[in-house]
Amino acid sequence: MPADHLLAIPIFNEETYLDRVLEAARAYSDNILVIDDGSTDNTPHLLRRHGGIEIITHAENRGYGKSLSDAFTFSVRRGFKWLVTMDCDEQHEASFIPNFVRAAQKGDSDIVSGTRYPNGFEANLAPEDRRVINYKISAMLNDRLGLSLTDAFCGFKAYRVAPLACMDITVPGYAMPMQFWVQAVRAGLRVEELPVRLIYNDPDRHFGGFLDDPDARLQHYLDVFEAEVNRELCSTKTPMSQDFSPKNGISCATRRAMDASKTCASKIPQRCSTSPN
């Protein structure tokens, strides 16, 4: 049987930070998965020097969301109870991993999500466009989904693994959280936030392509959210595990059939359509 949690670290061109991040992570996690999303720098060479970790390698860059989806699948198939995710740019401190594990093990939540803004978005360490977009998206998710998020985009999280078997993550890029939060609410998952330090080592780091335009990035996030809200729910996707509910073992298929009765049904359309509105 695996240990209580798997630590998954998505990476793309992280030669500057990789060695230090993995060295720090080993002090807090016995099971580590690295998803190399098509790195073209020295990252793959450095990664091969680290034994005792699991590695998933994408032949080409497929996106942050795809890397997280791979981590979800891996954690389910290997039978872990908890999955912790963190980034590899030293903006997430490995010393916080035990805090996430302890919060998860209390059993009060299915998702323990890091927040860099527990007291609001006044902090000025983050680039202004990222702070503003995070504020707008967090407020929108709270209003539309009935959440109470203060940080919609923090990648430092702990997930109860069983519900991840029922997730159908198809958005490969940075907009993946828009899809994830809708599915989490539909599934009735319990969410709590855990404060983490706000660290920006490279404020000039790019998203890439059109996402470097803040207006285009915000609109993309909104478009993905609306598409997920209105997407077809009559999926024939076969779950990797039938164990969904911690209380009664409701299967993924049964859970989807019950979605329409959720409290959030009045806010999230529960219909089967041929295309998103």
Mean pLDDT over residues 19-43, rounded?
Answer: 97
CA atoms of 127 and 129, how far apart (whole Å): 6
Instruction: Quote the mean pLDDT of the chain.
Output: 84
The pLDDT tens digits for 137-166 are: 999 999 999 999 999 999 999 999 999 999
Confidence of residue 276 (pLDDT cuts 50, 70, 90): very low
Asked if the model's pLDDT at residue 21 lies above 80, the reply is yes
Domain ranges of the chain: 5-229
Helix 128-145 to helix 214-229 angle (10° resolution) is: 20
CA dist list (Å): 165 to 69, 73, 108, 207, 230: 10, 7, 19, 28, 21
Range scoring the smallest mean pLDDT among 121-125, 185-189, 214-218: 121-125
The residue ranges of DSSP E strands in the chain, in sequence order, are 5-11, 32-37, 54-58, 82-85, 111-115, 157-160, 191-195
The strand pairing partners of 224, in sequence order, are: none
Specify the pLDDT at position 4.
Answer: 83
Q: What top-level class would CATH report for the domain 5-229?
A: alpha beta
CA atoms of 258 and 276, how far apart (whole Å): 21
Asked if the model's pLDDT at residue 14 lies above 80, the reply is yes
Range scoring the smallest mean pLDDT among 68-72, 92-96, 127-131, 156-160: 127-131
Residues 244 and 197: beta-carbon distance below 8 Å: no
The pLDDT tens digits for 85-114 are: 999 988 999 999 999 999 999 999 999 999
CA atoms of 58 and 105, how far apart (whole Å): 32
Contacts of 34 (CB under 8 A, 6+ apart): 8, 9, 10, 11, 22, 47, 53, 54, 55, 56, 88
Q: Is 183 helix (H, G, I), strand (E, B) or coil?
A: helix
Asked if the model's pLDDT at residue 237 lies above 50, the reply is no
Considering only CA atoms, which of 85, 97, 94 is closest in space to residue 34? 85
CA atoms of 4 and 104, how far apart (whole Å): 10
Q: What are phi and psi of 195, to 5 degrees?
A: -65, 135
Specify the pLDDT at position 263.
Answer: 34
CA atoms of 165 and 179, how far apart (whole Å): 15
Contacts of 151 (CB under 8 A, 6+ apart): 113, 114, 115, 116, 117, 118, 134, 138, 193
